[in-house]
Amino acid sequence: MSRAQRLLDLIQVLRRHRRAVAGAVLAEELGVSLRTLYRDIETLKAQGAHIEGEAGVGYVLRPGFMLPPLMFSEEEIEALVLGSRWVSERADGALGKAARNVLAKIGAVLPDDLKRDIDTSGLLIGPGEPIAAGDAEIAAIRQAIRSERKIRIDYADGQGSVSARVVWPIAMAFYDRVRVIVAWCELRGDYRHFRIDRIAALDASEERYPRRRAVMLKQWHAIRGVPEQ
């Protein structure tokens, strides 16, 4: 394994750990000696990685580190291009623009031959039906999910009956034709799924819901029997 690949692997391992992890654990996972691990950590720090900790205490990678130029396999590039193209065509305007920016930023640091793979990828996203939900609603819901805040909605069921709900949004599912919110519903006292195109009115609240979203999402996965992503 090249040193560059080893450094990249170390970054990836640190990214998977949200709390400080012992050097011995890192070294064992990477298959290197402790001395090599400590040397690699100092190298990454010198390159700008926000790694905190020390020998005997453990290490944690703080957010914000910009990876150096990356090497991807052909399949990895195709996955990036296909996923980004799907988001740019199927998500709201802001998220679509972000997907295009991601490809541009990755392309800017790739060698010329790999950069051409992005520009000439033969994996395309076919035309789909227009999504009824507007950009503003989807963007507001995404913001509520990120900030763990309640939203108030007027929601029409399958028969057209409208009810006022206060929900705690924890996730959004993107299907080809509809977008669905996964949320805790205060009216029902349980998790419910709401089609965004059936929301007649939406008011984003400044009130945070009282539970952590990550905990609720894990509970929802367990109840539904859905494997965690």
Lowest mean pLDDT, pick from 61-65, 140-144, 148-152, 213-217: 61-65
Give the type of residue at 205.
Answer: S
Domains belonging to the chain, first-starting first, are 3-61 (1.10.10.10), 74-119 (no CATH), 135-224 (2.30.30.520)
CA dist 13 and 7 (Å) reads 10
**128 vs 202, more confident:** 202
Tokens of 193: 């799924």
Residue count of the chain:
229
pLDDT at 95: 87
Q: Does position 227 have pLDDT exceeding 90, yes or no?
A: no
What pTM value is reported for the model? 0.64
Report residue 180: phi and psi, to 5°: -130, 135
Mean pLDDT of 98-102: 88
pLDDT at 229: 47
